[in-house]
Structure 1
Amino acid sequence: MDAWDGEEVPARGIAGFWRRLGAFVIDVIVLGIVGMILGALLFDTFARMGIYARLIGFAIALAYFGVLNSRIGSGQTLGKRWLGVRVVDAQGQLLSLPRALLRYTVLSIPFFANGLPVDPGMAMGSVLGYLLALIVFGGMFVTVYLYVFNRRTRQSLHDLVVGSYVERFDSPARPVPFPTMWRGHLAVAGLLAVAALGVPIAANHLAQTESFADLMPLYRTLSSQPHVMTAQVARGWASMNGRTTRSLQSSLQLDAPLIGDAAMARRIAQRMAEADSQIAQENAVVVRLVFGYDMGIASGWKAHVYSYKPEELR
């Protein structure tokens, strides 16, 4: 009979929360250093790739975690090796390479997929929107929940999918099987996945508001400009000494090192002023040109900000 997760249950050297977290932080730092070195050497190449640079980062991380967490690497990444833990299956055997690769894929897909440049109109209230919400938000919610609250086996979503455990490797092996997870966690995980489906519903409700609807045509206009890979547009305000300053702001990721092109920034600002029905209420039009990369494991950016008064753009 299953006991509540907080009760004492015989364990077979299950790695604790802080050991696993510490090992993961070390591994993230190692991968970050690798990504930063590659980014410094190939900055322009990765920057021109846009979102596809994440595929490079994913491939590097997949090779690192997949190979080292398998029997090839004795079930230990550098972080796990330094903190005395390793990945094994229910029988205490090291994982095969395909199994270890699948384990990391399940863990990483929600995080690498988060922030993909998807048109808001396509992502809200559509099948694609619900699928992304389930993968990104559902995957992250369930992974974090199990990692924190599944104290009996410390298995998170990626461990459950492949049947793996993370055990302490610096303590004597115990001749007892691994404990089983409290089944109530599966019910909570299911509720979290369902809750994630509420994200596109909330986003669709937001899209119906007047302020958001006014910005959508401008977003699409900016997204279609030459050299623009992704666009963000928002209204901002600042208050100082009792005076409030309103601004229409955009941030554009470019596929070329044109952040110093003042003429391009001015053309963008003019497009913004022409397309905004509320431009008369704004005190400034701000354009941020960005050139850089995001590999998931590391990122680097160069940016230049331009600000204009609406009357200067006529």
Structure 2
Amino acid sequence: MDALHGEGGPDREIAGFWRRLGAFVIDLILLGLVGWILGALLFDTLAHMGAYAKLIGFAIALAYFGICNSRISGGQTLGKRWLGVRVVDGHDQLLSLPRSLLRYVVLGIPFFANGLPLDPKLAMSTPLGYLLALVVFGGMFAIIYLYLFNRRTRQSLHDLAVGSYVERFDRAAQPVPFPIMWRGHVVVVALLAVIALSAPAVASRFAQTQTFAGILPLYQTLSTQPHVMTAQVVRGWSSFNGGKTTHSLQSSLWLDAPLTEDGDMAKHIAQLMAKTDPDIANEDVVVVTLIYGYDMGIASGWKKHGYSFKPGELQ
């Protein structure tokens, strides 16, 4: 039920999925342009910040959505203004600035916190790991689920947190109550939270399998190398046209200096990988990708170079 009708004229109408999504996409494009300009001007500074560059992106997004979706800007970001929708509460009143800021915090934190560089042991076996799993995976799953399936009120998690709605604002409206969300969605969101909380335990079990043998100590070794801010290690395989399967040990290293063309560094990393991995004899190739750049969440820019070595070359 997307609209209610009462006597005396058309009632307030909750914004439909596509109109709301279109406004959000427009806003993301605008924020991306701001991030791209900052990245072009401050590339090295942002690259040196590593994961902390996301704090700048989050602050920009928080200020934009928080201020524009509040009564200060009539409950409308530029995207909402162009597509004729606005944010209000259940009494059709515009949100205060603190309430609007909280609304975006609930929406933004799961996405900005996703991909933070954490020690796998910390992420898998501590209360912090379970908390992050709940916030990141539980939050993202709930937000996306409610966006797609809460068709009655079109409220997602951040709307429910502050009691807000996104309504059409391109026509006359009568002050009638908004519909009430189907309670079954609460059960689904709770189940999604339980699934998210199981992620660290599942990851811990996978870490103990043969496929991931040696990955954790290898990650710890690479993470302590000079100029390496963050490391990622995976095992992979590829097969072309049903031919021989090629097994590979791959690492991606995010650097604090523009060293992506340093072949000697790449070979040194590959030698460490070959020395540390107990299953190196089963690999056909060792791949090292050196990366220098930034990720603000609203925009990113990278310079990267990949290197491949045969295990026999690394003795």
Does TM, scored on the shorter chain, surpass 0.5?
A: yes
The alignment partner of 1:124 has SS state of helix
Structure 1 pair 98–233 and aligned structure 2 pair: CA distance change class (3 A): same
Question: Cα distance, 1:234 vs. partner?
Answer: 1.6
Match of 1:174 in 2: 174
Question: Cα distance, 1:311 vs. partner?
Answer: 2.0
Distance (whole Å) between structure 1 residues aligned to residue 137 and residue 234 of structure 2: 23
Query: Bigger shift: 181-190 or 18-27?
Result: 181-190
Match of 1:3 in 2: none
Distance (whole Å) between structure 2 residues aligned to residue 263 and residue 249 of structure 1: 17
Does residue 219 of the first structure (1) align with residue 197 of the second (2)? Answer: no
CA contact (8 A) 1:36 1:298 kept: yes
Distance (whole Å) between structure 2 residues aligned to residue 196 and residue 250 of structure 1: 27
**Amino acid corresponding to residue 97 of structure 1 in structure 2:** L
Question: 1:75-113, CA deviations, whole angstroms, 9 ceiling, x for partnerless residues?
Answer: 100100000000111111111111111110011111111
Question: Cα distance, 1:214 vs. partner?
Answer: 1.8
CA contact (8 A) 1:46 1:53 kept: yes
Distance (whole Å) between structure 2 residues aligned to residue 207 and residue 311 of structure 1: 27
Question: Cα distance, 1:143 vs. partner?
Answer: 1.1
CA contact (8 A) 2:16 2:154 kept: yes
Query: Bigger shift: 27-36 or 212-221?
Result: 212-221
Q: Describe how 1:1-314 pairs up with structure 2 within 5 A.
A: 10=5, 12-240=12-240, 242-314=243-315
Question: Cα distance, 1:240 vs. partner?
Answer: 3.8
RMSD of aligned C-alpha atoms?
Answer: 1.6
Distance (whole Å) between structure 2 residues aligned to residue 262 and residue 113 of structure 1: 32
CA contact (8 A) 1:85 1:166 kept: yes
TM-score, reference length from structure 2: 0.94
**Amino acid corresponding to residue 25 of structure 2 in structure 1:** V
Question: Cα distance, 1:9 vs. partner?
Answer: 5.8
**Amino acid corresponding to residue 29 of structure 1 in structure 2:** I
Query: Bigger shift: 293-302 or 228-237?
Result: 228-237
Structure 1 pair 250–167 and aligned structure 2 pair: CA distance change class (3 A): same
Question: 1:94-137, CA deviations, whole angstroms, 9 ceiling, x for partnerless residues?
Answer: 11111111110011111111111111111113211211111011
Structure 1 pair 60–8 and aligned structure 2 pair: CA distance change class (3 A): closer
Distance (whole Å) between structure 1 residues aligned to residue 133 and residue 161 of structure 2: 20
CA contact (8 A) 1:12 1:179 kept: no
**Amino acid corresponding to residue 287 of structure 1 in structure 2:** V
Distance (whole Å) between structure 2 residues aligned to residue 27 and residue 196 of structure 1: 28
**Amino acid corresponding to residue 277 of structure 1 in structure 2:** P
Question: Cα distance, 1:246 vs. partner?
Answer: 2.3
CA contact (8 A) 2:2 2:151 kept: no
The alignment partner of 1:234 has SS state of strand
Counting aligned pairs with the same residue, the percent is 72
The alignment partner of 2:180 has SS state of coil
The alignment partner of 1:88 has SS state of strand
CA contact (8 A) 1:13 1:171 kept: no
Greater than 3 Å deviation, 4+ residue runs? 6-11
Distance (whole Å) between structure 1 residues aligned to residue 57 and residue 30 of structure 2: 13
Query: Bigger shift: 206-215 or 113-122?
Result: 206-215
TM-score, reference length from structure 1: 0.94
**Amino acid corresponding to residue 270 of structure 2 in structure 1:** A
**Amino acid corresponding to residue 37 of structure 2 in structure 1:** I
Distance (whole Å) between structure 1 residues aligned to residue 200 and residue 313 of structure 2: 39
**Amino acid corresponding to residue 107 of structure 2 in structure 1:** L
Distance (whole Å) between structure 2 residues aligned to residue 282 and residue 177 of structure 1: 64
Listed as ranges, the gaps of 5+ residues in structure 1 are 1-5
Question: Cα distance, 1:283 vs. partner?
Answer: 2.3
The alignment partner of 1:155 has SS state of coil
Matched length: 309
The alignment partner of 1:87 has SS state of strand
CA contact (8 A) 2:270 2:314 kept: yes
Question: 1:137-174, CA deviations, whole angstroms, 9 ceiling, x for partnerless residues?
Answer: 11111111221221121111111111111111001112
Question: Cα distance, 1:8 vs. partner?
Answer: 8.0
Listed as ranges, the gaps of 5+ residues in structure 2 are 6-10
Distance (whole Å) between structure 1 residues aligned to residue 2 and residue 22 of structure 2: 25
The alignment partner of 1:64 has SS state of helix
Question: 1:172-220, CA deviations, whole angstroms, 9 ceiling, x for partnerless residues?
Answer: 1123122222222222221221221121121111112122132111111
